[in-house]
Amino acid sequence: MAGIYLHIPFCKQRCTYCDFHFSTNFGSYRKELIAALCRELELRKAEIQTEIQTIYFGGGTPSLLENEELSLILATIRANYSISETLELSLEANPEDVCEEKLSHWKKEGVNRLSIGLQSFKESDMQWMNRAHLASDGEKAVRLAQQFGFENITVDLIYGLPQLTQAEWKNHLELVTSLGISHISAYCLTVEPKTALHHQVKHNQLVTPDEETQSEQFELMIEFLKAKGFEQYEISNFAKNEQYSKHNSAYWQGVHYIGIGPSAHSFNGKQRRWNISNNSVYYKNVGVNSSWFVIEELSENEQWNELFLTGLRTKWGVSKTVIDGLNSFSKSEKDLLQHYITDGSMIETVTNFILTDAGKLRADGIASSFFRV
């Protein structure tokens, strides 16, 4: 089992909060960049010996791909990799790009999971976020995709925004659950360095909510979505009827994947690989098959830390077999484990250690308390 992630490093405009890798000025070299993505796919085919179960177009903004560009990338994948019959093929789409022409092309190419970036239902949020769409475009995009027969739709929301009240957040949750979708990803706003948001906060032009307000919104969301039949299978991810993201679930459970495109990561069980986060250096260097990535051998301690950081965020928790493969628990780690079980943050099953709802409220803190240095 393996997956392919493709990073499409283009965006129409720069959202104030975002520090993902993308460029808003790509018209002059987009052809070269798409050719480099295809070339990287060809160069790396020997890295994957098993069937591809998931393909994920992330970004940046994959919905900016022209139909011919998407077809070319998928044709390259089909020509070089063995694809499972039950492939999950996901594509992240920004609401302003969702139109009849693109939806029918995505359907024809086998896209069977759409991730639509709604972010908020409040019109004034779109402006300060510098989104390239209106809040109302989000709902329209979901409805249109549903008309085109997309059944597996997820949307992204952000909470913990400036001036977002509990009542407004509850209203956003009501609106999102009325869309008839099977999956929701909701992220707490993070002020990332070097973003416009960071600049505004630093210069007192904007005040973001305190941690307590953000925690209250997190708790409200968990309770609300649970009552609507959504299972929280990862800290920020909720699914109805077990319609989990196969791609992300595999990633959280340590399945191998290759990441194609500038800034994309790969993981083969022992090594992590980072592609360069620079579009022109990426396409030029891939073209001559030279220095477009770095490889890092993960030490046992790093594998351990990664296991707790990603595993504890999920409903599957961390596996005892994997823990035993990494020298099991020390005496002090066993005491820590017992402490979390006694205070109701964690439970032990026959095979795994899993956070309870109370534990999920401080998942990162609990995970980092197990870190080995």
Ligand X SMILES: C[S@@+](CC[C@H](N)C(=O)[O-])C[C@H]1O[C@@H](n2cnc3c(N)ncnc32)[C@H](O)[C@@H]1O
- Residue 220, helix vs strand vs coil: helix
Q: Where does this chain touch ligand SF4 (CB under 6 A) — which range of 10-18, 293-301, 304-312, 357-365?
A: 10-18
Q: Which of 12, 14, 20, 284 binds ligand X (CB under 6 A)?
A: 20
Give 22 or 257: the residue with its C-beta nearer to ligand SF4.
Answer: 22
Rounded to whole angstroms, how far apart are CA atoms 181 and 152?
7
Class of residue 280 by CB neighbours under 10 A (exposed 0-12, middle 13-18, buried 19+): middle
Report the relative pairing of strands 293-297 and 271-275 from DSSP bridges. antiparallel
* Total of chain residues touching ligand SF4, rule CB under 6 A: 11
Rounded to whole angstroms, how far apart are CA atoms 238 and 216?
17
Segment 101 to 160, residues that bind ligand SF4, using CB under 6 A: 117
Segment 18 to 47, residues that bind ligand SF4, using CB under 6 A: 18, 20, 22
Rounded to whole angstroms, how far apart are CA atoms 17 and 19?
7
Beta partners for residue 155, in sequence order: 116, 184
* Residues contacting residue 255 through CB under 8 Å, at least 6 positions apart: 1, 2, 3
What number of other Cβ atoms are within 10 A of residue 166's Cβ? 11
* Total of chain residues touching ligand X, rule CB under 6 A: 15
Rounded to whole angstroms, how far apart are CA atoms 128 and 163?
11
Binding partner of 209, given ligand X, ligand SF4, none, CB within 5-8 angstroms per partner class: none
Interaction of residue 59 with ligand SF4, rule CB under 6 A: yes
Give 20 or 148: the residue with its C-beta nearer to ligand X.
Answer: 20
Segment 42 to 71, residues that bind ligand X, using CB under 6 A: 59, 61
**Rounded least distance, CB 227 to ligand SF4, Å:** 29
Binding partner of 314, given ligand SF4, ligand X, none, CB within 5-8 angstroms per partner class: none
Rounded to whole angstroms, how far apart are CA atoms 82 and 52?
6
Q: Which positions touch ligand X (CB under 6 A)?
A: 17-18, 20, 59, 61, 92, 94, 117, 119, 156, 158, 187, 189-190, 192
Q: Which positions touch ligand SF4 (CB under 6 A)?
A: 11, 14-15, 18, 20, 22, 59-61, 94, 117
